[in-house]
Amino acid sequence: MTEPSVAASHNKPVAVNNTKLTAVKGMNDILPPESATWEWFEEHVRHVMALSSYRNIRTPIVEPTALFVKGTGQTTDIVEKEMYSFEDKLNGEHLTLRPENTPGVVRAAIEHNLTYEGGKRLYYMGPMFRHERPQRGRYRQFYQLGAEALGFAGPEVDAELMLLVHQLFDRLGLKNVRVELNSLGVPAERAAHRAALVDYFSQHADALDADSQRRLQTNPLRILDTKNPAMQALVQAAPQLISYLGESSLKHLDTVKHLLSVCGVQWTVNPRLVRGLDYYSHTVFEFITSELGAQGTLCGGGRYDGLFETLGGKPTPAVGWGMGIERVLELVKEQSLASSAPVPDAYAVVPDAAALSTVATTLQALRAQGVSVQMHASLDGSTGSFKSQFKKADGSGARFALIFGADELAQGKVALKALRARADAQDSQATAQQLFALDNPNALALAIKTT
Ligand code: ATP
Ligand code: MG
């Protein structure tokens, strides 16, 4: 029955008609078999993170809007136009669906005093929300993997985080991903560069587009980000931050470059790689591919030594990155890398519904022994002919059929039949059928696991 409207006491009535409900634009269902690739990716992530002692952190999807205004930055695209913000009508709080997770992680670190006993290495995976124009590699709900090292000031940790990305990509088998990096120095160096930049762009004010004119007042560094082709020459010739770095900042950058090089990671310095916010310092980097068109940045990160203080915490050096999982999986697909969808070890062929309880207990015992097994039968006796069931078993990709036929059951047994001829087996063996006693499912499980 369809109600004409739903009227919760605190919400305006929402019109409910009979049009088909679909997912929100830019927010995707991830369905099997594609979801198997996500699980494959996530397993590699857990493994790689454990190898470098990064621990999982899970923070809320909804945070106070003020966290992102402060932590992501008032003058960023995200805060200016991409956030899903709303007022909690129950208590008037201003809330936002997280557009990124570094502010949430730092908020949690401050709130729970996570760096009290020393640095913490953390990672997360989960959905982020940005109101952008949906296109390939750009969605309104998308997933990020992120890693953050909190409480470490040294360049070796910047390098460690970049090597973590490299190791993950290596494990996934990804090719043709390049690494760009730059240094943003420290606040005093950036202030000197900013003054030079304002000078330069003010002298060329007539060549600036409307966006850049505005940014000249609010955040001149962001003019360097412009995608306007008409401004590229002007931006190319602008003063570069790297020429304003002092000795210690250059040394920090050199150590990062050196550690990447000795580990076989090729990099290029991109002097135009910048972040327009004051809490960033030293290293910034991106992992980029040319194989995905305009949305080629897979992962972006950097050092944000000032963020803890910006969010009301004690001064704490920190560095991290965020990776777009959809983009990485798009590249995985492009390069034909994902493992195939999982298939069961065995498929139960049940010609007679009367055998169901025996089948159920046997399959449950097999699963307890770590054997994956699938069945298709129905109690109304319409389980299909033996032949059509056998076809299903074969189509499932399983290595074995388990045949619960009347003859076998009469002897208290089940037949195990190999469905895939093994390269090293003779045909007669590969297709041979073996009988196993139903009262000893362990022997059956062992045969499936070791054959
Ligand atoms: P872009 O320049 O592509 O908009 P960004 O600078 O906004 O990226 P970050 O905030 O650094 O991106 O987020 C880290 C990563 O998350 C990006 O490198 C990208 O892989 C991914 N990402 C960002 N926005 C989206 C989105 N709307 N849909 C899918 N992935 C995204
Ligand atoms: Mg963006």
Q: Give the separation between CA 87 and CA 96, rounded to whole angstroms.
A: 9
The beta strands (E) that lie in 62-207 are given as 62-64, 84-87, 94-97, 120-129, 141-150, 177-183
Q: Give the separation between CA 370 and CA 400, rounded to whole angstroms.
A: 15
CA-77 nearest atom, ligand 1: 7
Q: CA-based diameter of the chain, in Å?
A: 95
Q: Which of 20-34, 157-171, 177-191, 430-444 has the lowest mean pLDDT?
A: 430-444
pLDDT of residue 451: 82
Q: Give the separation between CA 103 and CA 71, rounded to whole angstroms.
A: 5
pLDDT of 163 above 50: yes
Ligand 1 center from residue 60 Cα (angstroms) = 20
Per-residue tokens: 380: 């109304």
Q: Which of 61-70, 312-321, 407-416 has the lowest mean pLDDT?
A: 407-416
CA-321 nearest atom, ligand 1: 14
Q: Give the separation between CA 372 and CA 445, rounded to whole angstroms.
A: 10
pLDDT of residue 4: 45
Alpha helices in 205-324 (DSSP H): 210-218, 232-236, 247-262, 307-310
CA-144 nearest atom, ligand 1: 16
What's phi and psi for 200, nearest 5 deg? -60, -50
pLDDT of residue 7: 45
Q: Under 8 Å CB-to-CB from 252, ≥6 apart: which residues?
A: 155, 158, 183, 282, 283
**pLDDT confidence tier of residue 382, bands split at 50, 70 and 90:** low
Ligand 2 center from residue 28 Cα (angstroms) = 18
CA-139 nearest atom, ligand 1: 28
Ligand 2 center from residue 449 Cα (angstroms) = 48
Q: Give the separation between CA 204 and CA 202, rounded to whole angstroms.
A: 5
pLDDT tens digits, 244-293? 999 999 999 999 999 999 999 999 999 889 877 778 899 999 999 999 99
Kindly report the protein residue whose alpha carbon is nearest to atom 10 of ligand 1.
100
Residue spans per domain, the chain: 30-185+245-334, 346-450
Angle at 36 between CA 33 and CA 42, to 5 degrees: 155
pLDDT of 422 above 90: no
Highest-confidence segment of 45-59, 65-79, 213-227, 349-363: 45-59
Q: Give the separation between CA 169 and CA 390, rounded to whole angstroms.
A: 40
pLDDT of 115 above 60: yes
Q: How many CB atoms lie within 10 A of CB 146?
A: 22
Ligand 1 center from residue 274 Cα (angstroms) = 15
CA proximity to 83, closest of 141, 131, 138: 131
Q: What is the CATH number of domain 30-185+245-334?
A: 3.30.930.10
**Ligand having the closest approach to the CA of 297:** 1
pLDDT of residue 350: 86
Kindly report the protein residue whose alpha carbon is nearest to atom 22 of ligand 1.
324
pLDDT tens digits, 187-208? 999 999 999 999 999 999 999 9
Q: At what angle do helices 155-172 and 325-334 cross, to 10 degrees?
A: 40
Ligand 2 center from residue 375 Cα (angstroms) = 46
Ligand 2 center from residue 77 Cα (angstroms) = 7
Q: Choose the residue to mutate in 84, 133, 327 for probing ligand 1, maximizing ligand atoms within 8 Å of C-beta.
A: 327
Q: Give the mean model confidence (pLDDT) for residues 416-421.
A: 87
pLDDT of 6 above 50: no
Q: Are both 30-185+245-334 and 346-450 of the same fold?
A: no
CA-137 nearest atom, ligand 1: 29
Which DSSP category does 340 fall into?
P
pLDDT of residue 392: 84
Write down the number of H helices and E strands in the chain: 16, 18
Task: Report strand pairing: 141-150 vs 318-324.
Answer: antiparallel
**pLDDT confidence tier of residue 175, bands split at 50, 70 and 90:** very high
What SS3 class is residue 106?
helix
Question: Do 202 and 215 meet the contact criterion of CB atoms below 8 Å apart?
Answer: no
What's phi and psi for 336, nearest 5 deg? 50, 50
CA proximity to 275, closest of 321, 219, 316, 192: 219
pLDDT of residue 227: 85
Domain at 346-450: CATH architecture: 3-Layer(aba) Sandwich (3.40)
Q: Which of 170-179, 226-235, 321-330 has the lowest mean pLDDT?
A: 226-235
Kindly report the protein residue whose alpha carbon is nearest to atom 7 of ligand 1.
78
Kindly report the protein residue whose alpha carbon is nearest to atom 8 of ligand 1.
297
Residues having CB closer than 6 A to ligand 1 are 100, 130, 132, 137-139, 142, 144, 295, 297-300, 322-324, 326-327
Q: Give the mean model confidence (pLDDT) for residues 367-386.
A: 76
Which DSSP category does 4 fall into?
S
Average per-residue pLDDT in the chain? 91
Which DSSP category does 341 fall into?
P
pLDDT tens digits, 8-60? 455 677 878 888 999 999 999 999 999 999 999 999 999 999 999 999 999 99
Q: Can you give the pTM of this predicted structure?
A: 0.89
pLDDT of 169 above 80: yes
Report CA torsion sign: 253, 256, 262, 263. Answer: negative
Highest-confidence segment of 138-142, 218-222, 404-408: 138-142
Ligand 2 center from residue 99 Cα (angstroms) = 10
Ligand 2 center from residue 278 Cα (angstroms) = 19
Per-residue tokens: 432: 């041979």
**Ligand having the closest approach to the CA of 227:** 1
Question: Do 157 and 149 meet the contact criterion of CB atoms below 8 Å apart?
Answer: yes
Q: Give the separation between CA 150 and CA 116, rounded to whole angstroms.
A: 11
Ligand 1 center from residue 41 Cα (angstroms) = 18
pLDDT tens digits, 79-88? 999 999 999 9
pLDDT of residue 373: 95
Q: Give the separation between CA 243 and CA 336, rounded to whole angstroms.
A: 42
**Ligand having the closest approach to the CA of 139:** 1
Per-residue tokens: 166: 């490299």
Q: Give the separation between CA 309 and CA 318, rounded to whole angstroms.
A: 11
Highest-confidence segment of 10-24, 152-166, 384-398: 152-166
Chain centroid to CA 62: 18
The CA-atom distances, in angstroms, between 288 and each of 167, 203, 325 are 15, 33, 13
pLDDT of residue 427: 52
pLDDT tens digits, 66-77? 999 999 999 888
CA-295 nearest atom, ligand 1: 3
Q: Under 8 Å CB-to-CB from 396, ≥6 apart: which residues?
A: 343, 344, 347, 374
